[in-house]
Amino acid sequence: MANGEREVGADAPAGGFVQLLTPDGERVDSVTTTDGMTYSVDFTDEEYRELYRDLVTVRRLDAEATALQRQGELGIWASLLGQEAAQVGSGRALRKQDMAFPTYREHGVLYTRGIDPIMPFGLFRGVDQGGWDPHEFKFNTYTIVIGSQTLHATGYAMGITMDGKTGTPDGEAVIAYFGDGATSQGDVNEAFVWSGVFNSPIVFFCQNNQYAISEPLERQTRIPLYRRAAGYGFPGIRIDGNDVLASYAVTRAALDQARNGQGPSLIEAYTYRMGAHTSSDDPTRYRIASEVESWKAKDPIARVRAFLTKQQVADETFFAEVDDTAKKLALDLRERVLAMPDPEPVTMFDNVYPHGSPEIDAQRASFERYHATFEGSGH
Amino acid sequence: MSRIKEFPLPDLGEGLTEGEILAWLVKVGDTIELNQPIVEVETAKAAVEIPAKWAGVVTKIFFEAGTTVEVGSPIVAIDTDPSAGPLPADDGLPVPSAESLAAVEIAPAEGAVEPGLIGGPAPGGRTAVLVGYGPKNTTAKRRPRIGTTPAPSPANVPSPPPAAATAHRPAAAPASPSAPEVRSPNGRTSGPVKASPVKAGPVKAGPVLAKPPVRKLARDIGVDLAVVAGTGPMGSVTRDDVHQAAAAPEAAAPTPALAPAAAVFDASREQRIPVKGVRKLTAENMVASAFTAPHVTEFLTVDVTRSMKAVEKLKGRREFADLRVSPLLMVAKAVLLAVERHPMVNSTWSAGTNEIVVKEYVNLGIAAATERGLIVPNVKDAGRLSLRELSEALNTLVQVAKSGKTPPSDMSGGTLSITNVGVFGIDTGTPILPPGESAILAFGAVKPMPWVHNGKIKIRQVTTLALSFDHRIIDGELGSKFLRDIGEFLTDPEGALLAWT
């Protein structure tokens, strides 16, 4: 299931990928794959500008979070640096009714869902358990365990099928995010099996950032990851993960197929993690500098900026305003993160049972009395 | 809140306790912006740049580069409002306020535990440990209970936590040469040693009281227990008494007046090099290896004239035109061929599973002296390489090692190693096995020597090979045959090659 018929750019891996915007900012009108699928986008100037704003904003917020971790204000941070296009493109491709299942790195997708970016910071700052209402924004909680969210997403997709919420042009579809390392997990393979067999309305969106922490891709797979889908009986396609347009176009098409009852698909977004796996990791121990440099030339934001400039869709004033707005958002985020209160010890009893239980209530009361014996306990 | 803010070293990676300051990117007086990188810190996990938490002017840097700092210790102070004019004299002092100290109650010492019992303080300040994570060197912070907090009295206000005392490990020697520091096993530094009473202890009659580990310690460091005054229970000699006695002669003995220009043997003439990086790793590996694998070393002196001629011949060949062909290549080939004949030497002792793991692949380690210290990168699957490929791989390995850029993957997974001590003009040595490997060959200098050749004394190129092996796996017979084969190849490479392959 090779990708493009057209000559793909020099930056494409063997086998090609769908690319609608080259690293130099050249627009490719459309790409038709050997499967007969044609991908393109038709954005207004304003939509192009807003995509650029999304990309810059999520990168700036991410940089602020990385700084906060280094300053001891977050316990850990998983940076999305380099993967903005894959996340913003696929996130913007979701329709309001679609449900997303993130890993712990999908800050960009979270942002495109219209969620206050501070939402996951309680988890990384260690002041809450990272819980939120997945239905409110149709965005599941961050999942730390590698790959398990693909099974949750599969179950959810089977569920909405049984509920009759899908199978129509305005039905619901599901997207499950995971990384290249997760493809080695049993969970992900089970999710592929179940989704394939039950023809579930789900898009598996794999951000192949080339490293499972320190393990390179060649230690994960013998074939390109998107080709695995064939073994489970659904289509797989590879996109330039640093191209926000390809990410948008292919994800939107795959989601629409899913919501129309045409079953799952696998998208491999071929990208690169420019930073560390998390703030606890040192990528210089397993990656060579020249590799990182070569990916810098494929930066997802620079190409959009080049495109906007060439098309005279945006000018320096616009770019400066975007940077400035992003910086303000980041500093505001910083202030609010620093102001996050430490949890009261008794909050550990809050989410044990949805409606409480006599035993837990008694434990809470006893614990409260004990705490009241300390100075400054405040209640 | 003071306008001077101190930035404590954060836990940069999920449960780390310390970090080493690699380099300061700013200096005192610099104006810095929020999130501007100010310092590089290396932890056990990663080397990272820390961005400034506040904009302002750097007023103090607490630790110089090269210092290992405990998490939580202030490392830099920043004046966050420099436009407000000069600082009041006291404001710049980065001392924890009395209130902040008083707010932290140090947990009482667990005095109820009898001295010397597990978990309790043993005589001399040690904490007896049987199993577990070792003694806890920090004191717990506990919130004061209502109605139980005594007013802070001088005795009750805790001294700065031990962190402050031990965090700063200067590379320089202590200033007072005659008062060496004694570092007790729990890492705390005690003051200058009061040596004289111990040293002057009279020779006692009757048996000396001391626990067996203390007796061993005394024996190890050469202290006669009979002359040590015990300070432990019932006058028994403690670990610290032994350490003090050992330190005493240097500490207390006044320089004899009879030698007018007597040599001084103290810190002023000693250089202290912090043990870290490759040196630390080397030391750990050597200790781990030397004390787990029983080493045996065998020697063989061989005539390598023909090998040297073979090297010359190879140099002249087209296939090797762009390569540096060295005698090491011949030795490597000899080892690889000998491994094929005796696969058992290419194995590892797996104590965990009670197995000997014999490997079909040879990742051939080459010990290399670099500026960073000794490293042993290895050629992966060397047994499958042709002679040219092997030569290429050795060239690359050595060049990369010398440039200091050997990736960690090249240094792990070695199965058998060669150390080329000959390049230093040394005849041979008794190498220590890299951990996990069962054999290592030392290749000595090749020198022209008188040698009996075809019944006559001739000048021949001769070298001495030394093979160390793990005697748990390799018996003398196997080791000898392996070494003999290496020698045979080097004596007659063409003949051996034809006969064996």
Concatenating the DSSP letter of every residue in B124-188 gives: TS-B--SSSS----SPPEEPPBTTTPPPP-TTTSPPSPHHHHHH---SSPPS-TTS--EE-TTSP
Taking alpha carbons only, the member of B287, B305, B260, B254 closest to residue B460 is B305
Asked whether the predicted pLDDT for residue A77 surpasses 60, the reply is yes
Say if A20 falls within a structural domain: no
Q: How far apart are CA B409 and CA B413, in angstroms?
A: 8
- Please identify which of the residues A60, A252, A273, A305 carries the catalytic annotation: A273
Say if A258 falls within a structural domain: yes
Interface test with A, best of B1, B12, B80 (most A CBs within 10 A): B12
User: What's the token pair of residue A312?
Assistant: 């005279």
Q: How far apart are CA B319 and CA A11, in angstroms?
A: 35
> Which part of chain B has CATH 3.30.559.10?
278-500
Mean pLDDT of chain A: 93
Contacts (Cβ under 8 Å, ≥6 apart) of B36? B26, B51, B52
User: What's the token pair of residue B66?
Assistant: 């090269």
Q: How many CB atoms lie within 10 A of CB B329?
A: 23
**Percent of chain A whose predicted confidence (pLDDT) is above 90:** 84
CB nearest to B46's CB, from A282, A373, A376: A282
More confident residue, B143 or A116: A116
Helix, strand, coil percentages (3-state) for chain B, rounded to 5, are 30, 25, 50
Pair A282, B49: CB distance under 8 Å: no
Give the angle B181-B196-B204 at the CA atoms, nearest 5°: 120
Pair A265, A257: CB distance under 8 Å: yes
More confident residue, B159 or A162: A162
Residues of chain B with pLDDT below 50 are: 90-116, 119, 151-203, 251-257
Total domain count for chain A? 2
Q: Domain holding A183: CATH number?
A: 3.40.50.970
Taking alpha carbons only, the member of A331, A117, A327 closest to residue B53 is A331
Q: How far apart are CA B41 and CA A52, in angstroms?
A: 34
Q: How far apart are CA A146 and CA A126, in angstroms?
A: 20
Chain A closest-CA separation from residue B27 CA (Å): 18
Q: The domain B278-500: what is its CATH number?
A: 3.30.559.10
Q: How far apart are CA A208 and CA B144, in angstroms?
A: 52
- Does B408 sit within 8 Å of A375, measured CB to CB? no
Q: In A132-185, which ranges are continuous DSSP H helix?
A: 148-162
Residues A258 and A376 in one domain: no
Say if A259 falls within a structural domain: yes
Say if A321 falls within a structural domain: yes
More confident residue, A242 or B236: A242
**Phi/psi of residue A91, nearest 5 degrees:** -65, -40
Pairing of strands A31-32, B68-70: unpaired
**pLDDT confidence of residue A7:** 46
Q: How far apart are CA A85 and CA A81, in angstroms?
A: 10
What residues make up the domain containing A98?
31-338
Burial A23-32 (b: 16+ CB within 10 A, else e): bebeebeebe
Pairing of strands B439-443, B416-419: parallel
User: What's the token pair of residue A376?
Assistant: 């400054």
CA B479, chain centre distance (Å): 30
Asked whether the predicted pLDDT for residue A6 surpasses 50, the reply is no
Asked whether the predicted pLDDT for residue A97 surpasses 70, the reply is yes
Q: What is the average per-residue pLDDT within A186-208?
A: 97
- Does B45 sit within 8 Å of A280, measured CB to CB? yes
DSSP state of B366: E
Say if A152 falls within a structural domain: yes
Residues A275 and A364 in one domain: no
Chain A closest-CA separation from residue B43 CA (Å): 10
Chain A from 107 to 126: CB within 8 A of any B CB: none
pTM above 0.80, yes or no: no
Say if A9 falls within a structural domain: no
Q: How far apart are CA B90 and CA B79, in angstroms?
A: 13
Confidence of residue A61 (pLDDT cuts 50, 70, 90): very high
Chain B closest-CA separation from residue A61 CA (Å): 13
Strand partners, A238: A268
Strand partners, B295: B470
Residues A350 and A330 in one domain: no
Pair B463, B422: CB distance under 8 Å: yes
Give the dihedral of Cα atoms A237, A292, B46, A66; nearest 10 deg: -70
pLDDT tens by residue, A274-333: 999 999 888 988 998 889 999 999 999 999 999 999 999 999 999 999 999 999 999 999
Q: How far apart are CA B291 and CA A349, in angstroms?
A: 51
Q: Coil, strand, or helix at residue B47?
A: strand
Pair A176, A192: CB distance under 8 Å: no
Q: Coil, strand, or helix at residue B402?
A: helix
- Does A276 sit within 8 Å of B46, measured CB to CB? yes
ipTM over 0.85: no
User: What's the token pair of residue A272?
Assistant: 């690169």
Question: Following DSSP, what letter does each residue of A34-86 receive, concatenated?
Answer: TTS-EE-----HHHHHHHHHHHHHHHHHHHHHHHHHHTTSSS-----TT-HHH
Q: Coil, strand, or helix at residue A11?
A: coil
- Whether A213 has its CB under 8 Å from any CB of chain B: the answer is no
Q: How far apart are CA A190 and CA B118, in angstroms?
A: 50
Pair A40, A54: CB distance under 8 Å: no
Which amino acid belongs to residue B464? T
Give the dihedral of Cα atoms B389, B391, B392, B394; nearest 10 deg: 120
**pLDDT confidence of residue B253:** 46
Asked whether the predicted pLDDT for residue A144 surpasses 60, the reply is yes
Chain B closest-CA separation from residue A175 CA (Å): 31
Asked whether the predicted pLDDT for residue A341 surpasses 60, the reply is yes
> Which strand (E) or helix (H) includes residue B58?
strand B56-61
Say if A246 falls within a structural domain: yes
> Which part of chain B has CATH 2.40.50.100?
4-95
Q: How many CB atoms lie within 10 A of CB B281?
A: 16
Q: How far apart are CA A204 and CA A176, in angstroms?
A: 5
Residues A198 and A332 in one domain: yes
Q: How far apart are CA B474 and CA B348, in angstroms?
A: 10
pLDDT tens by residue, B335-357: 999 999 999 999 998 888 888 99
Residues A247 and A372 in one domain: no
Residues A75 and A208 in one domain: yes
Residues A333 and A359 in one domain: no
> Which part of chain B has CATH 4.10.320.10?
172-269
Say if A19 falls within a structural domain: no
Residues A260 and A379 in one domain: no
- Phi-psi label, residue B187: left if phi above 0, alpha if psi -120 to 50, beta otherwise: left
Residues A286 and A364 in one domain: no
- Please identify which of the residues A277, A287, A303, A305 carries the catalytic annotation: A277
Helices A300-310 and A84-93 sit at what angle, rounded to 10 degrees?
Answer: 70
CA A237, chain centre distance (Å): 17
CATH homologous superfamily of B172-269: E3-binding domain (4.10.320.10)
Burial class (CB in 10 A: 0-12, 13-18, 19+), B493: buried
Which amino acid belongs to residue B155? A
Residues A282 and A351 in one domain: no
Confidence of residue A247 (pLDDT cuts 50, 70, 90): very high
Please determine, looking at this structure, whether the domain spanning B4-95 carries the CATH number 2.40.50.100.
yes
Residues A308 and A276 in one domain: yes
Pair A195, A264: CB distance under 8 Å: yes
A371 belongs to the catalytic site: no
Give the angle A251-A256-A257 at the CA atoms, nearest 5°: 100
Interface test with A, best of B20, B22, B35, B40 (most A CBs within 10 A): B35
pLDDT tens by residue, B59-113: 999 999 889 999 999 999 999 988 887 766 544 444 444 444 444 444 444 444 4
Q: Which residue of A has its CA nearest to B145?
A: A374
Residues A181 and A308 in one domain: yes
Q: How far apart are CA B297 and CA B219, in angstroms?
A: 28
**pLDDT confidence of residue B28:** 93
pLDDT tens by residue, A355-377: 889 999 999 999 999 988 887 76
Chain A residue numbers with beta carbons less than 8 Å from the beta carbon of B75 are none
Chain A residue numbers with beta carbons less than 8 Å from the beta carbon of B45 are 280-282
**pLDDT confidence of residue A319:** 97
Pair B127, B119: CB distance under 8 Å: yes
CB nearest to B12's CB, from A70, A375, A377: A70
